[in-house]
Chain A
Amino acid sequence: MRYALLVAWREYAENAKTRGFWVGIFLFPLILLLSIQVPILIEQRATPVRYYILVDPSRSLAPAIEAALEKSYQQQMLAALKQYARKNALPMTNSAAPRPGPSLEALNEADAQSLETFVAKGGRDFFLAQIEPRLHPGAAPFREPRRLFQQVKLPPAINPKAELSTIAEDLKPYLRQDKLVEANGATVPLAAAILIPPQLEDQIVRPQPRSPAAAARPSATPRQIQYWSANASDNRFRDEVERAVNAEVRRREYLARGIDAGVIQQIERTYVPFVSLNPKKEKGLEAMGAADIIRQWAPSAFVYLLWVATFTVMQMLLTNTIEEKSNRIIEVLLSSVTPGELMIGKLLGIAAIGLTMVGAWVAASFGVLLWKSGGAPEVTGQILLVLRTSNLLPLFAVYFLLGYLMYAAFILSLGSVCNTLKEAQSYMGAMTLLLIVPLLTLPFIPKDPNGPLARVLSWIPFYTPFIMMNRATADPPLIDLVGTLVLLVATTLGALYLAGRIFRIGILRTGQPPKIVEMLRWALRR
């Protein structure tokens, strides 16, 4: 065993020095970070401010649109303020400071009433004043989010009193950005124009149950609200304006029909609380929370980790075995260690590399999550709780080792008979296809973890580690848990035994790789 450990240590130390190893270690968290950060950055920085012109000669809808856009901005503001407070101020519960007014933690940008309270209390200034005593010393000042949609005035060359069709024609060069408009003393490109005809009342479409034909949209365009923009892909602004206009039209409709809008608003905010309960949980604690959602999806994350780790480590093992074989180092090694010791050493060394990599990924992912959640204890706490209270980590270790050893047995056999990576590629293609199945089924298993697909795949030893890992928190039947594990262990031991026999013969062989039938003959020959 001493010699196997020496081989393992060399494998570990040498692989840990390779560029590929460090790229692998850093690439995973980097991709994770980028996948979180890039959309935020694009949202914050890269998305340009959309300048728009609103032409509403009768001023019938402009105030409603402007109010809706302001409300949307206040939502952004509140979210940014809460994020700022999480990062830069002590949590309220730990503070002895007085708490006048509504609780800041209770303010929720997604809740209309809560948002109204925020605005009514003074919005940004109120919030900042509230957290000021709790701010960390030296905390950076709060940076307001940008207003993504900003209104500009009609260019002086265009007559605001002209017909809408004339105004539209005159605006086209601006909308095509052949000409620029003025905003805050600078010239900027015009992203959109909304033209609202004066007699809008005639254009409102009302459901006519008795005559469906009348409900069809009128085809005449000049009297519809016109949304002009050269950008057909980014519809956020159009959607927001459309929502605001229709909300306002409906509000007026309520009034016109003698219904109190305030009552309607109250009714719209009426709801029955709904709770998801899990019968498998302890009595009194059946309600499903964030931890349960994490618990349900965490196995998928581990399966993905398992897959990436297995695949990466397989590549390392193959490259490394072929290098030793093609360099003829193997012969010197075999004069010092037995093929069995060499094989065990390689398996252990590369497994240790794989576990180091996975460990670094888990730690880095956790770090990224912790950082991105602004140290929010609820997110990290829930994840830790799930990891602590579930058997995910020990199961991951077991399935990684067994899965790795089973696949490694095939890789070692393959590596021992191939002289170059090119020779090994055709076999690796088949192996990759085999390994793709668990990835394809990854999202479906958690939805029906004890369904027929999950159960059948679990009993195929090639897939057992991935599928059973994915079912880990769904309490699979004992027969599945134990039976598949026994089958997996037996398959792994069998594969290692046969691989050992192929390895012993193949590793010293030169020339063309043998056919699979010949390899099987080596493996099974007495």
Chain B
Amino acid sequence: MKTENETAAAVLELRHVTKLFGQFKAVDDVSFRLGPGSICGFLGPNGAGKTTTIRMILEILKPTSGAITVLGRPSALEVRHRLGYLPEEKGLYKKMKAWAIVAYFATLKGMTRQAAKRRAFELLERYGLKDFAEKPTDALSKGMGQKVQILAAIAHDPELVILDEPFSGLDPVNQGVMEELIREMARRNRTVLFSTHVMEHAERLCERILLIARGRLIFDGSMAEAKRTVPRRVRLETEDDVAPLRDLAEVSAMRALPRAGAQTDGPGHASQQWELELRENSDPQLILQTCFGRRIRLKSFNQSEPTLHDVFLRLVGAEAKEVVFR
């Protein structure tokens, strides 16, 4: 049971939110809470219910049941001037000038015309679009257009920013700029919720991961917690028999990896790569010690942290199961 203070402090809170389209359950009993100054990745496969959830947060859609609190208010429209939103499918008024679009959306968020215009030019200059400020948006490249739209979403310095696939369409340099922009907002105690399909961005940026699949929230936790959902793995390569490793209590599963090209050192001596899944809290050093003890000659030994990509595949794939840490 949360106290009233905790609720008031939450920038965003969803409680048992469900959305039905006819008989189809697009979002199913989703609950989570975001505090100020956090960067949260909202991940999930296509059609998982991310956009519907975002639209409900922004009150573009009404939930069938459940409650949403945004910046302490039950309606996002009441605090719309404190919210910023970049939708997944980007679009701009083709004939409007870049500065005018940024300024227009800023005025819709409560800024005065003069302040919005000033802010538009300031942002366009800061993010390298000064020379394009007076150009109609159909004269801009796709990436530039997207940058303009991102700037339009944050021009009014919102407290909660929701970015749906902010990196798509940006080149690596601008992806870096975008990442820095998100970090900078968090440093100023702004809360950022963003969805992405590129796990590397989420891994670099997020303190918190929300994973949604088939309308249900299947993971809500920190990055470390997310990684703990995937067993640690060890990869080794040897020509010798690895049967002794299979019997170890620390190893929960073991499989031969497919061969990539010729790896033979001579007749009858084929080198093979193996992947071992370790049980929780097992030490990979034990595998190494066993190899030395049983005279298994190693050509390579590699222990690696699971990536968010592994987490995603594991949780969203066939083995998907709900893991909620909060």
Asked if residues A332 and B96 are in contact (CB atoms below 8 Å), the reply is no
Let me know if A338 is at the binding interface, CB within 8 A.
yes
Closest to A345 in B: B108
Contacts of B55 in A (CB 8 A): 331, 508
Contacts of A329 in B (CB 8 A): 91-93
Let me know if B324 is at the binding interface, CB within 8 A.
no
Complex CA gap A324/B96 in Å reads: 13
Let me know if B94 is at the binding interface, CB within 8 A.
yes
Q: How far is the CB of B98 from chain A (nearest CB, A)?
A: 14
- Given A328-B87, A508-B61: A336 and B93 interface contact (C-beta under 8 Å): no
Let me know if A334 is at the binding interface, CB within 8 A.
yes
Let me know if B153 is at the binding interface, CB within 8 A.
yes
Complex CA gap A313/B95 in Å reads: 19
Contacts of B76 in A (CB 8 A): 335
B77-85, B123-131, B169-177, B181-189 - interface stretch: B77-85
Quick one: which of B90, B91, B95 has the most chain A CB within 10 A? B91
Asked if residues A323 and B94 are in contact (CB atoms below 8 Å), the reply is yes
Asked if residues A335 and B85 are in contact (CB atoms below 8 Å), the reply is yes
Closest to B164 in A: A331
Let me know if A18 is at the binding interface, CB within 8 A.
yes
Asked if residues B108 and A3 are in contact (CB atoms below 8 Å), the reply is yes
Q: How far is the CB of B29 from chain A (nearest CB, A)?
A: 23
Q: A332 touches which one: B61, B77, B85, B107 (CB < 8 A)?
A: B85
Complex CA gap A10/B108 in Å reads: 11
Let me know if B104 is at the binding interface, CB within 8 A.
yes
**Cβ proximity bits B149-164 to A, threshold 8 Å, 1 near / 0 not:** 1001100000000000
**Cβ proximity bits A4-31 to B, threshold 8 Å, 1 near / 0 not:** 0011001000100110000000000000
Let me know if B223 is at the binding interface, CB within 8 A.
no
Complex CA gap A18/B95 in Å reads: 9
Asked if residues B104 and A10 are in contact (CB atoms below 8 Å), the reply is yes
Complex CA gap A324/B87 in Å reads: 13
Complex CA gap A326/B86 in Å reads: 16
Which residues 56-86 in B have Cβ within 8 Å of A in the complex? 58, 60-61, 76-77, 80, 83, 85-86
Let me know if B109 is at the binding interface, CB within 8 A.
yes
Complex CA gap A399/B83 in Å reads: 41
Contacts of B77 in A (CB 8 A): 338
**Cβ proximity bits B103-122 to A, threshold 8 Å, 1 near / 0 not:** 01101110000000000000
Let me know if B265 is at the binding interface, CB within 8 A.
no
Let me know if A303 is at the binding interface, CB within 8 A.
no
The total of interchain contacts (Cβ-Cβ below 8 angstroms) comes to 58
Quick one: which of A327, A335, A337 has the most chain B CB within 10 A? A335
Complex CA gap A6/B110 in Å reads: 10
Asked if residues B58 and A327 are in contact (CB atoms below 8 Å), the reply is no
Let me know if A259 is at the binding interface, CB within 8 A.
no
Complex CA gap A324/B85 in Å reads: 16
Asked if residues A328 and B89 are in contact (CB atoms below 8 Å), the reply is yes
Q: How far is the CB of B68 from chain A (nearest CB, A)?
A: 14
- Given A6-B107, A337-B108, A338-B77: A332 and B153 interface contact (C-beta under 8 Å): yes
Complex CA gap A308/B86 in Å reads: 39
Contacts of A333 in B (CB 8 A): 108
Complex CA gap A94/B91 in Å reads: 66
**Cβ proximity bits B274-296 to A, threshold 8 Å, 1 near / 0 not:** 00000000000000000000000
Contacts of A328 in B (CB 8 A): 87, 89-91
Complex CA gap A332/B87 in Å reads: 7
Contacts of B152 in A (CB 8 A): 332
Complex CA gap A338/B96 in Å reads: 22
Q: How far is the CB of B224 from chain A (nearest CB, A)?
A: 33
- Number of residues on chain B facing chain A (CB within 8 A): 27
Asked if residues A336 and B60 are in contact (CB atoms below 8 Å), the reply is no
Asked if residues B80 and A336 are in contact (CB atoms below 8 Å), the reply is yes
Q: How far is the CB of A231 from chain B (nearest CB, A)?
A: 52
Asked if residues B91 and A17 are in contact (CB atoms below 8 Å), the reply is no
Asked if residues A331 and B87 are in contact (CB atoms below 8 Å), the reply is yes
Asked if residues A334 and B92 are in contact (CB atoms below 8 Å), the reply is no
Complex CA gap A17/B93 in Å reads: 13
Q: How far is the CB of B88 from chain A (nearest CB, A)?
A: 8
Which residues 307-331 in A have Cβ within 8 Å of B in the complex? 323-324, 326-329, 331
Closest to A325 in B: B91
Quick one: which of A7, A10, A331, A333 has the most chain B CB within 10 A? A331
Contacts of A336 in B (CB 8 A): 80, 105, 108-109
Contacts of A7 in B (CB 8 A): 108
Which residues 2-20 in B have Cβ within 8 Å of A in the complex? none
Asked if residues B80 and A335 are in contact (CB atoms below 8 Å), the reply is yes
Asked if residues B109 and A508 are in contact (CB atoms below 8 Å), the reply is no
Asked if residues A331 and B89 are in contact (CB atoms below 8 Å), the reply is yes
Q: How far is the CB of A433 from chain B (nearest CB, A)?
A: 31
Q: B108 touches which one: A6, A14, A331 (CB < 8 A)?
A: A6
Closest to B90 in A: A328
Complex CA gap A31/B94 in Å reads: 31
Closest to B101 in A: A329
Complex CA gap A338/B80 in Å reads: 10
Complex CA gap A323/B93 in Å reads: 8
Contacts of B107 in A (CB 8 A): 6
Q: How far is the CB of A344 from chain B (nearest CB, A)?
A: 14
Contacts of A18 in B (CB 8 A): 95
Q: How far is the CB of A7 from chain B (nearest CB, A)?
A: 8
Closest to B109 in A: A336
Contacts of B149 in A (CB 8 A): 332
- Given A10-B104, A331-B60: A17 and B95 interface contact (C-beta under 8 Å): yes
Q: A508 touches which one: B60, B91, B104 (CB < 8 A)?
A: B60
Complex CA gap A198/B233 in Å reads: 127
Asked if residues A14 and B96 are in contact (CB atoms below 8 Å), the reply is yes
Complex CA gap A6/B92 in Å reads: 17
Asked if residues B60 and A335 are in contact (CB atoms below 8 Å), the reply is yes
Complex CA gap A7/B108 in Å reads: 8
Contacts of B80 in A (CB 8 A): 335-337
Complex CA gap A51/B266 in Å reads: 113
Asked if residues B92 and A327 are in contact (CB atoms below 8 Å), the reply is yes
Closest to A507 in B: B60
Complex CA gap A10/B92 in Å reads: 13
Q: A334 touches which one: B58, B93, B94, B96 (CB < 8 A)?
A: B58
Asked if residues A14 and B95 are in contact (CB atoms below 8 Å), the reply is yes
Contacts of A323 in B (CB 8 A): 93-94
Asked if residues A327 and B93 are in contact (CB atoms below 8 Å), the reply is yes
Contacts of B83 in A (CB 8 A): 335
Q: How far is the CB of B76 from chain A (nearest CB, A)?
A: 8
Asked if residues A327 and B91 are in contact (CB atoms below 8 Å), the reply is yes
Complex CA gap A332/B102 in Å reads: 12
Contacts of B60 in A (CB 8 A): 331, 334-335, 508
Complex CA gap A328/B51 in Å reads: 13
Q: How far is the CB of B291 from chain A (nearest CB, A)?
A: 56
Complex CA gap A3/B80 in Å reads: 11
Q: How far is the CB of A342 from chain B (nearest CB, A)?
A: 10
Closest to B51 in A: A331
Closest to B162 in A: A335
Complex CA gap A408/B315 in Å reads: 49
Q: How far is the CB of A418 from chain B (nearest CB, A)?
A: 16
**Cβ proximity bits A448-481 to B, threshold 8 Å, 1 near / 0 not:** 0000000000000000000000000000000000
Pull 15 A–B residue pairs with CB atoms less than 8 Å apart, ordered by A: A6-B107, A6-B108, A10-B104, A14-B93, A14-B96, A17-B95, A18-B95, A326-B91, A327-B92, A329-B91, A331-B55, A332-B152, A335-B58, A337-B108, A508-B60
In addition to A7-B108, A10-B104, A334-B58, 8 A-B residue pairs with Cβ atoms within 8 Å of each other are A3-B108, A6-B107, A14-B96, A327-B94, A329-B92, A332-B87, A332-B152, A335-B76
6 closest Cβ contacts across the A-B interface? Answer: A327-B91, A328-B89, A336-B108, A335-B85, A331-B87, A328-B91
